[in-house]
Amino acid sequence: MRPILATLLASLMAASAQQPVPQQPPAAPKGPYKFGVTTQLVVVDIFARDKNGKPIENLKPSDFTVTEDGKPQQIKVFQYQRMEETAEPPMPEPALKPRAAEAAPAAAVKTLEASVVKPVTARQIAPARPGEIKYKDRRLMVMFFDLIGMPIQDQMRAQGSALKFIKTQMTPSDLMAIMTFSTDLKLVEDFTDDRDQLTRDVKNLVIGEGSDMANTVSDDSAEDAGAAFTQDDTEFNIFNTDRQLAALESAVKMLASLAEKKALVYFASGMSKTGVDNEAQLRATINAAIRSNVAFYPIDARGLMASAPLGDATKGSPGGQGMYSGSSARSATGNFQSQQETLFTLAADTGGKALLDSNDLAMGIVQAQKDISSYYIVGYYSTNAALDGHYRRIKVAVNKDLSAKLDYRTGYFASKEFKKFDSSDKERQLQEALMLGDPITDISGAMEVDYFRLARDRYFVPVEVKIPGSELQLARHGGAESTRLDFIGQVKDAKGEIKGNVRDFVEVKLKGEAALRLAERPLAYDTGFTLPPGVYTMKFLARDNETGKIGTFEHKFAIPDLTTDQRLLPISSVVLSNQREALSAAVYTAEKDKKLLASNPLVQDNQKLIPSVTRVFKKAQDMYVYLETYEPSAETTQPIVATVSFYRGKVKAFETDPLVVKEGLDAKSKALPVRFSVPLGKLQPGKYDCQVSVLNPAEKKFNFWRAAMWVLP
C-alpha cells in the first residue's frame, strides 16, 4: 500500500480571496467561573517480611511512612491481602462419554449450560473504581500467549504447561485471566477461579495461528531458501517486535484500574530486537507495567535447547561463506542470547522472573504464584499534580519495626499532557489506538472506500476520509493559522493478515476568511491501495496535533472478482461528487509520484474529483457521477447506454436523458469511463435513492447501482 494523494477542499482556499469579515471583540464569559484540579492516585504494593522471610501482619496505616521525592504523602487506601499457599486437589479426568440411553439427560444439561454461557471473547478486563480493592485476598495472574512469537511446537508446549498448572497447581486464592496476541490483542477470559472454564479456554486456543510470524533473522544464520533477492527482513523484525511489545503495553493498561498486585505470565519463543530500534517501545512497555503494578514473568517456550552449529531439522541450512567461516554459528548463538535477553529485561525491570532453558514451563507460572504472597496495598493522592511525565521516587518505611524488609516499586513516571509529548510518545499513541478494539470518537468524520479494476487480479482502492473543520483547533503562527493532522491506517483481509498500511501527516495553513470559515467546511484526506479481490477491513485513525484528539474510522468492504460473473455487465464503484479540484490548487499533496497518481481514475487532466462521502448536496449544485464499465475481451469500444434516476419511495422523481458512451476504452484495464453532470435544481429538498443504470446493447448485458442521498435547500 502506498498513499497517493491528500487534499483539502479547495473552497477553503477560494474563501480567502473574498472580502475579509470584520473581527468582532471576544464576548465576555457568561455564567459562573469553573475551577479544575488534577489529582493522581498512586497505588503501591508492599511486601513486608521479617528477618526470617515470613510476612509481617497486623500493620496499620499509621505504621507506614510514605514519601514521594522526599515529600510526605497521606495514605488514603490501605488493605492487607492474605494469600492461600496450598494447591487445590487435582482436577479429575473427564468421564467417558455416556451410552446412547444416557445421552438425553446429558444433552439437557448441555442445553442449560449453553443458555448462560459467556461470550467467547471480551474487550476489556472488568475495571475497578478508583481506590476500590475489587479482589480481596486473591492472587491475580494473567496467562498471555504470544502466538506470533511462537512456532507451532512451542505453542503446543505452552498450552500443555498451562493446562498442567490449572489442573494440579492452582490454589483457592488464584484468579486467572487469559489473553492471546496474533493479529490483535484478545481477552479470552477475565479473572476467574473456574478451573473447568479455564481448561476449556486453553484447549480452544487455535494452535498454529500466527506461527508464520515467529522470529525471523536475516543475517548469516538465516536459512537458504533458494529464493530470489527480496527486501531485507530487518524492517519486518522492527515492526513485528514493536507490535509484540505494544500488545504487552495494551495488556498491562487493561489491568491498571485494579489496585492489586498482578503477574503477567508471557509465553513466547524469545523476542528479537534490532539494535536500539525497539528500545523506545520496550521502555514504554516496562513503564506502563510499573505504573499498573504488573510484573512480567516471561517463559521461553522453546525450553532447554541443544542447537547444532548450522541449525536443526526445523529449517534449512544457511548458505554462503558463513557456513565455513563460523559466522553462521556465531550469529545463531548471538540471536538466541539476544532473544532471551529481551525476556530477561522485561522481567528484571518490572520485578518478575524469567524462566529460561527449562522444559517444565509450568515452573514459570508457579514462580509467579509464589512471588505474590501476602502483601499490603497502600494508596495516596500525590501532592505533585503536574502532568510533566517526570520520574517520581517513592520511599516507604515501617515506623515501629526498622528491621522489616520491604519490597515495593521505588518510583513511577507521572502522566504527561499531550502538549508535552515527544515524537516517540505521539507515535506510540497512534499505534496503541490502532490496536484497540473499540472506536475512538474524539474526532467525528466519515470514510468512503471504492474500487476500480486495473487488471484481472488487481484493483485500485481509493480511500477518502472527511473530517468536519469544526472538530479541529488551529494554532496561530506568524499571522497565519495552521494545524497538523496525523493519519495512520491498516487494511486486513478476512484472515486478519495486514495487506496494506499508511502513515502520513498533513500540515495545513490558512489565512483570513478561509481560516475563519473552517468551522463550516470539512477537510478531506485521500489515499489508495492496490489489492486483489476479497473481503477486507479498513481501519483508519486521524489525530489533531494541537489537541491530541483522535478519531477512528473503520469500514468493512469487499472487492468482487468482476471476471467471474458473465451474466451482468461488470462495473466499478460509483462515485458521487459535487466538486472538482485542480491538483495545483490543493492545499496539500502527499504523493507526487506521477506513476501512482496515474493509477487514480478520479484524476483526469490534472483535476481531482472529490467524492462526497456523506452524499449530501444542495439544490444549487451539480452532482458529478463517475463509474467504469469493463469490457475484458473487447479490442474496440462497445457502446454503453447509461442513465441516472432519483426515487422517493417507489416514485421516480427525475431521470436524466440516456447517455451514450462510444469511445474511451482503456487498452490495459479494458475500462470504459462513464461521466455524468446532473443539475439538482429540479429536485425538491429531501432524501432520494439515486440509481445509476448501465446497458450494453450489443451483448445484452445490464447492471445498476443504488444508494441513498440527500438534497438540501
Residue, of 623 and 415, whose pLDDT is higher = 623
Using H for helix, E for strand and C for coil, what is the string for 575-590? EEEEEEEEHHHCCCCC
Q: Are 213 and 184 in contact (CB under 8 A)?
A: no
Question: For residue 525, what are the β-bridge partners?
Answer: 465
Per-residue pLDDT tens digits for 277-298: 577 778 878 888 888 889 999 9
Percentage of the chain with pLDDT > 90? 25
What are the domain boundaries of the chain?
41-84+378-413, 130-222+231-373, 615-713
State the Cα–Cα distance between residues 371 and 362, nearest whole angstrom.
Answer: 14
Tell how far CA 34 is from the center of its chain.
Answer: 36
pLDDT at position 13 over 70: no
Cα–Cα distance, 354 to 267 (Å, whole number): 10
For residue 7, name the pLDDT band (cuts at 50, 70, 90): very low
SS3 (DSSP) at 487: strand
Distance CA 86, CA 374 (A): 13
* This prediction's pTM: 0.54
Instruction: State the pLDDT at residue 28.
Output: 41
Same fold flag, 130-222+231-373 and 615-713: no
Lowest mean pLDDT segment, chosen from 334-343, 470-479, 512-521: 470-479
Kindly report the three-state secondary structure assignment for every residue of 426-481: HHHHHHHHHHCCCCCECCCCEEEECCEEEECCEEEEEEEEEEEHHHCCCEEECCEE
R_g of the chain, CA atoms, integer Å: 31
In this structure, the dihedral spanned by the alpha carbons of residues 678, 682, 684 and 688, taken in order and rounded to 10 degrees, is -30
Look up the CATH number of domain 615-713: 2.60.40.10
Residues in the chain: 713
Where does the pLDDT of residue 480 fall: very low under 50, low under 70, confident under 90, or very high at 90 and above? low
* CATH number for the segment(s) 130-222+231-373: 3.40.50.410
Count how many Cα atoms sit within 13 Å of the Cα of residue 375 in the half-sphere of its side chain: 24
Q: What is the pLDDT of residues 38-60, one digit of tens each?
A: 567 888 888 888 888 888 888 99
| Cell numbers at 392, concatenated | 517520581
- Burial, 35: exposed, middle or buried (Cβ in 10 Å; 0-12, 13-18, 19+)? exposed
Look at residues 411, 359, 417, 363 and name the one whose alpha carbon lies nearest to residue 388.
417
Q: Are 163 and 155 in contact (CB under 8 A)?
A: no
Q: Alpha-carbon distance 636 to 663, whole Å?
A: 8
Give the β-pairing of 616-618 and 701-712.
parallel
Residue 29: Cβ within 10 Å count: 8
The rounded distance, in Å, linking the Cα atoms of 286 and 46 is 19
**CB count in 10 Å sphere of residue 515:** 21
Query: What single-letter amino acid sits at 27?
Result: A
Q: What local confidence, expressed as pLDDT, does residue 564 receive?
A: 81
Q: Looking at residue 403, what DSSP letter applies? A: T
Question: Which residues, in sequence order, are CB contacts of 324 under 8 Å at separation 6+?
Answer: none
